[in-house]
Structure 1
Amino acid sequence: MAETEIVMYGTTRCPDCFRAKRFFDDHGIGYKWIDIGADPEAVIYVEKINKGNRSVPTIVFPDGSILVEPSNAELAKKTGT
């Protein structure tokens, strides 16, 4: 199923997840947040993308590209902000 919005997989204890959420919020960029701590299927998906690791944030863009633990500079480049 193709997403039409940015989907961010993360945890409630992840400082990088908070930073990425703040980046999107500060730039008015909508996203769907999925807490892998509360969604077993999301854990499986994140581990599949990251070769068995639960690396977060894992961010999936509508074009199918994925950024894992991106910096703000990487997010800015990807989103054109």
Structure 2
Amino acid sequence: MLRRWRLAILAAICGVLVAAVKIGDGSPGGAAFLLLLFLGLALAVSPGVFPRPERAADAVLDGRPVVYWRPGCPFCLRLRARLGPDAGRLHWVDIWQDPEGAAAVRAITGGDETVPTVVIAGEGFVNPDPSWLKDQVVPAA
């Protein structure tokens, strides 16, 4: 569990330390700005910005696309941000939490754990373009 949050915790601790140094230098405004910047970074890399992770076995049952991801992955974060509210239409499997999900990614990518890996109708796509995926998820009007 802690492994999933370590980048977010590290960013928050760095923010506190940098803010403490700035306060010691007599710059409380700069300290507040930097602390907020680091806390924003901590939020961005935390698993909390992703929908609740599911198990790989449960995710493939209803036919919706499955996104295999891991905390701290900038490409996963970019995909999640670009999908916006449509991210809820997908299943999200954290490969650090689910060994079956990690195995599925290794099978698709040829042995490594490259994420995000998206499975749509049984076909795997490694690090797809977010706008392409959005077109696949949102039916044409």
- The interval holding the TM-score normalised by the smaller chain is 0.7 to 0.9
Secondary structure, counterpart of 2:114 in structure 1: coil
SS in 2 for 1:59: strand
Higher strand share: 1
- Which residue of 1 is the match for residue 95 of structure 2? 36
Identity rate, percent: 29
SS at match of 2:92: strand
- Structure with the larger helix share: 2
CA apart distance, 1:31: 0.8
Greater relative contact order, per chain length (Cα 8 Å cut-off, separation 6+): 1
Matches within 5 A, 1:1-81: 3-27=62-86, 30-61=89-120, 63-79=121-137
Change (3 A) 1:53 1:29: same
Write the letter of the residue equivalent to 1:70: P
Counterpart-to-counterpart distance in 2, 1:47 and 1:23: 25
Where does the alignment leave 5 or more consecutive residues of structure 2 unmatched? 1-59
Letter in 1 for 2:128: P
- After TM superposition, the score normalised by the length of structure 2 is 0.48
TM-score by length of 1: 0.77
Q: Which contiguous aligned blocks of 4+ residues in structure 1 show a shift greater than 6 angstroms?
A: none
